[in-house]
Structure 1
Amino acid sequence: MGFLQKDKQKEDDSTDYIAATNTDVNSPLRQIAATKKKRYGAAVDGEFLFKEKDYADLIARECSIVTPNGELKWNATEPQPGKFTFESADAIANFCQKNNIALHGHTLFWHMGNPDWLPYPPTLEMIQRHVTGVMGHYRNSPVLKSWDIANEIIADNENETDDPTYGLRRGVKPELIRDLFKFAASVDPTKKFYLNDYGIEGATWRSSRFLKMVEYLKNSGAKIDGAGIQSHLWFSTAYGFDATGFSSVLKRLNDLGVKPVITELDIIIDTPLPDSIQKLDQMVADGYKRFLDICFAADVDTVITWGITDRHTWIRHPDWMPKKTYRDNPSVWQFLRPLPFDENLQPKLARNAIAQAFMQAP
């Protein structure tokens, strides 16, 4: 499937930033965000986007940017060595163009989402072929604006790395990531480049290594425009959120000239669980507002939730559902409500909290 012909009005990024008059908390999130020159978006799954009209209509109404869930990962785009396929990703790109939505490319390099034939880490030659094929295909796309060049390269913890300085996953060298970013810039320098990772929303071992890796890339002359902060968050009355540590991470990124971007936001409430769905929804909403207030104070301009409706959240998949809190307690499964809209695509308190955070942003 090819791209639609370019529409000059839709191609202009500024069209989404026209200050909308008469916006209120019930206006579409994309419209509220645009009044502050910001974007709201969500991860989308092509399988549901083209089967469920109500879901597609919700995405079109609320989002000014989307991230394909899996359609741009290596196993989807290069299932056999040197053989590329873009039918599913192109369908999402065409949906975006029809609805004046920007597309964020996710991802060129990851330890998961790979075909069986691909080693981790891939050789530089494999990476160059893949980047040439995938980035080259979208070089002239009117909607694809940015890429997660590398995703989750920091080890899960300090016991799973041989690299105490950068904390990279075993086998991954900082020079390989540097060369990946530099080669990507030789293929298409017109897009924004992100290093994307999780567990960096505070003063943690991972955030320290992530910041060192960002600094290394900057000092190496690599093109790195943004830092993708996934923000799969867990909140609980039993432990607090490290707001001070997170603010320091955002400040350091800004000081380095690397734009912090929220790429995969959702919120789980951990034990002790409240005694009602209503109380849980309020806790989730409070978490969104508190987190986004910190982000917007640091000039974050893009917020992407990992999904938009609880109907299609990855967190409800049995393989990913938090085991101790939820998988071992099926009676509380319904307390997994991490996204702005519920299973019936109705707005929740979380959706209103996101709207209020945008409206109150500097």
Structure 2
Amino acid sequence: MATTLNRRSLLGGVAAAGLAGPVASAPAGEFGPLKRPSWAADGPQGAAAAKGLGFGAAVPSNLLNRSANFQKIMARDCGVLVGNNEMKMAVMLPEPGRPDFAPADSVVRFGRAHGQRLRGHALVWHEALPAWVAPLLEHASAAQAGDFLHRWIDTAAGRYRGVIDSWDVVNEVLAGYGPVRRADGLRESPWLTALGPDYIDLAFRWAREADPRAALAWNEDSLEHAFDWVEAKRGRVLKRLEGMRARGVPVRRFGIQAHLISDQPFDPKAFRRFIGDLGQLGIGIEITELDIDDKAFPADAALRDKAVAEFARRFLDVVLDEPATLSVVTWGYFDGDTWLNDHPDHRRRDGLAQRPLPLDTTMRPKPFREALIAAFRAAPDHSVARARLRETI
């Protein structure tokens, strides 16, 4: 489609996208009332709730809509839900003038019907953009690009105004492995090119306008392992957060993706210092995309599952010690729904499928699920501090 759009249609992309004005929140009752929580006291969310924590998973709406077994498991184990791709621009605005809210709406309805908190993911990312957006931004002035971004945030966050607990406003904005080309450490992206580094602050301010009740988060990757470049990136995170807070940017939470990799070192003390520094800023911490790449673990499924669970427990014991930690979310909940097997950097050398999540491909519990429950039960009780932090959005 993008190759057929001329300059005029590109620069008129805001209107073409069906974003001619701010989008009001969905009508009252659109997603149903928030019902009593459905999670079981003896499951992961039950154990988490006793310590003032939330636990949940990213879910694909197509599976959630068709599998009664998956619905039962999500209702039983999770107090937090996030759509896997459902609220990304590529899904919600696949074509100009034809927004598609159905996948996201179905996740929201399920969450409200089961008394679950909902996370929105993600308003601004350098990936998951519809094909027609890149040429639009390339030909737009900064004012036009800003207008487009503003109206997109109005559309997505505005539709779910009042029903989303926290929004990933920006996702993966810092450069990761390899040379850092900019002094500020920002990742090259269409948004940075079109709007400059202020796009981050602007996105948070516009998200606050669209939904004043949602806690607004910066979600970031590659912060967990013990490498010099990771330590440098942690420093850039803290410096930018300090600046954002000083400028009055309404960032209230920081998301640590936690895609853990079995053949990379993890230093509990260094990571504990980092999340402690985040907590000292008054920022709530969310573990947003937890899974464990098992490529360094044995081929034997039982041994591998045990090693995955042990790694998860080591990580969670550090994370849950911090009073500012508010929730833990896995990226997918069963092994049949992992992205790792499709990524060339994460394929096992023996050709076996990854087993990175709490349930196996048949949705039966694995030691990882038990490790979650054990970690929540053993964690210090910071319920009062967490409740106070949740009140500050």
TM class, shorter-chain normalised? 0.7 to 0.9
Partners of 1:82 and 1:129 within 8 A in 2: no
Any residues of structure 2 matched to 1:109-128 within 5 Å, and which? 109-119=124-134, 122=137, 123-128=145-150
Change (3 A) 1:31 1:130: same
Q: How far apart, CA to CA, are the structure 2 residues paired with 1:199 and 1:215?
A: 20
For these two proteins, the number of residue pairs brought into alignment is 337
Q: How far apart, CA to CA, are the structure 2 residues paired with 1:34 and 1:120?
A: 46
Q: Mark the runs of 5 or more structure 1 residues left unpaired by the alignment.
A: none
From 348, 351, 370, the equivalent of 1:352 is: 370
Pairing 1:288–2:309 present = no
Partner of 1:315: 340
For the residue of structure 1 that corresponds to 2:128, the secondary structure is coil
Q: How far apart, CA to CA, are the structure 1 residues paired with 2:250 and 2:374?
A: 34
Partner of 1:231: 258
| Per-residue CA distance 1:189-242 (angstroms, 9 max, x = gap) | 210100001111255233222222222221211001110000000123xx5312
| Per-residue CA distance 1:43-97 (angstroms, 9 max, x = gap) | 0001111122111211111000011001100011222345432111111111111
For the residue of structure 2 that corresponds to 1:48, the secondary structure is helix
Partner of 2:357: 339
Partner of 2:217: 194
Partner of 2:387: none
Q: Mark the runs of 5 or more structure 2 residues left unpaired by the alignment.
A: 1-25, 138-144, 381-393
Q: CA RMSD in A?
A: 2.3
Partners of 1:158 and 1:164 within 8 A in 2: no
Q: How far apart, CA to CA, are the structure 2 residues paired with 1:113 and 1:92?
A: 19
Partner of 1:245: 270
Partners of 1:231 and 1:263 within 8 A in 2: yes
From 176, 189, 200, the equivalent of 1:156 is: 176
Deviation at 1:16, TM superposition (A): 8.3
Partners of 2:32 and 2:112 within 8 A in 1: no
Partners of 2:261 and 2:294 within 8 A in 1: yes
| Per-residue CA distance 1:269-324 (angstroms, 9 max, x = gap) | 233x325222111110111111001011112120000011002111122xx1535x
Identical-pair percentage: 29
Deviation at 1:98, TM superposition (A): 1.2
Partners of 2:56 and 2:79 within 8 A in 1: yes
Partner of 1:135: 157
Q: How far apart, CA to CA, are the structure 2 residues paired with 1:350 and 1:309?
A: 10
Q: How far apart, CA to CA, are the structure 1 residues paired with 2:62 and 2:355?
A: 21
Q: How far apart, CA to CA, are the structure 1 residues paired with 2:135 and 2:74?
A: 34
Partners of 2:38 and 2:76 within 8 A in 1: no
For the residue of structure 2 that corresponds to 1:186, the secondary structure is helix
Could you tell me the TM-score, scaled by structure 2's length?
0.80
Partner of 1:277: 301
Partner of 2:391: none
Q: How far apart, CA to CA, are the structure 2 residues paired with 1:158 and 1:165?
A: 15
From 54, 60, 67, the equivalent of 1:52 is: 67
Partners of 1:228 and 1:261 within 8 A in 2: yes
Q: How far apart, CA to CA, are the structure 1 residues paired with 2:136 and 2:244?
A: 18
Counterpart residue type for residue 350 of structure 2: N
| Per-residue CA distance 1:107-156 (angstroms, 9 max, x = gap) | 00001111011139952111101011111111143xx2110000011123
Partners of 1:195 and 1:214 within 8 A in 2: no
Change (3 A) 1:48 1:65: same
Could you tell me the TM-score, scaled by structure 1's length?
0.87
Partners of 1:66 and 1:103 within 8 A in 2: yes
